Amino acid sequence: MTMADQDTTSRAIVRQPCKIGDKIENIDTPALLVDLDKMERNMQKMASLVDGFDGRFKLRPHAKTHKCPDIAKIQIQHGAVGVCVQKGTEAEAMVRGGVKDVLVTNEIIGKTKLSRVVPLAKEAHITICVDSAENLRQISEVAKTHDVIIDILIDVNVEMYRCGVEPDEVVPLVKLVQELPNVNFAGLQCYNGFNQHVRDAPLRMVATKRAMDIAALTKQKLADAGIECNYLTGAGTGTFKYETKFGVLNELQCGSYIFMDADYSRNRGDDGKAFHDFEQSLFVLATVQSRQGGDLARAIVDAGIKAVGMDSGPPLVHQWPDLVYMCGGDEHGIIAPPGPLKLGDKVFLTPGHCDPCVNLYDWIVGIRNDVVETVWPITGRGPGV
């Protein structure tokens, strides 16, 4: 393959699905769309809610939702203090995209990964979560090599049983941070992602209370050891209203609120109705490529597993909630009954889970009044090395 061939191949891989000014019917599919009006209203609503707490809480949205520095900077314009990320590649994307305060809400293990993340502290404020002495020593060594200071959050298991230490294990880790060079104890990471999708609001509140009780206990153990801790961060779109009531955290990591998805719509709000605190703004745009009758009347769209993801179930057909999307394989989705759909129609699909769906795409198309206003690169996408 010649260099010219390689260049053509590279351009084909990252080709934009449309250009600014295109109408929806001219967008190549499958494509990832965000309704800008709805996304901005979601941002404004969250900013207003946080402002209503009189400075007791800061908002640090989780950028794993969008993986896009352009969107992160809009969130910061709406009052966010910075962003969270989950992986090193997302941290690199945010910092290189101009975001100046990044919290890695995950353990970054090994010098190979740390040698990519730690030097970002020369360009931005970097904080990393830790749950082991070995990892602390790795971060300290790499930070010393690059002559930077890394803020450290101790990751606490608040009944998520993923990463995170038990409350009794936090004090020794903090004392080790205080002994090591080029690292600084900043606070506690107290997040439970599973609680976000407890369907019934009363049960979701109870689960959140248990998590916050553990966070409060951990803070008390630090105080008993003479260690001050004024930074506790966590919460998510499904639980933040409860965390703010309990008053243990002082920073909120909500992410999905800007987009929402089908899985969140299965939650019940405090009123017993489908969760409706924020608007659905994210969609996969698909095209009907076939319509068939027979024993199973159906419309086939050009968005299969590779376009929608299925980790939280199939997408919903946004315009026609009574129609059902079924997996048709890698490249096809089957909608039955076909309803009014005809060959060439554009269909808006509500993703089952916004984060991994975004991760399937190179571009996110911003639309307003059915016209393309912007096309943003999703520079943090990928397997997350």
**DSSP string computed for 95-128:** HHTT--EEEE-S---SHHHHHHHGGGGGTSEEEE
| pLDDT single digits (tens) 157-216 | 999 999 999 999 999 999 999 999 999 999 999 999 999 999 999 999 999 999 999 999
* pLDDT above 50 (res 12): no
Rounded Cα distance between 78 and 92, Å, is 22
Cβ–Cβ under 8 Å, residues 172 and 130:
no
pLDDT value of position 249: 98
User: Mean per-residue pLDDT for 312-319?
Assistant: 96
pLDDT-derived band of residue 13, with 50, 70 and 90 as boundaries? Answer: low
Count of beta carbons in the 10 Å neighbourhood of residue 205: 18
Q: Of the candidates 131, 232, 241, 149, which has an alpha carbon nearest to the alpha carbon of residue 195?
A: 241
pLDDT value of position 204: 98
pLDDT-derived band of residue 14, with 50, 70 and 90 as boundaries? Answer: confident
* pLDDT above 70 (res 344): yes
pLDDT value of position 5: 47
Residue 192 vs residues 36, 113, 163, 212, 239: alpha-carbon distances, Å: 29, 25, 10, 10, 9
Count of beta carbons in the 10 Å neighbourhood of residue 77: 10
In the chain, the percentage of residues whose pLDDT exceeds 70 is 97
Q: Of the candidates 169, 91, 168, 182, which has an alpha carbon nearest to the alpha carbon of residue 132?
A: 169
pLDDT value of position 294: 87
* pLDDT above 50 (res 1): no
* pLDDT above 80 (res 385): no
**pTM to 2 decimal places:** 0.95
Query: What are the helix and strand counts (H, E) for the chain?
Result: 12, 17
User: Mean per-residue pLDDT for 232-246?
Assistant: 97
User: Mean per-residue pLDDT for 101-106?
Assistant: 98
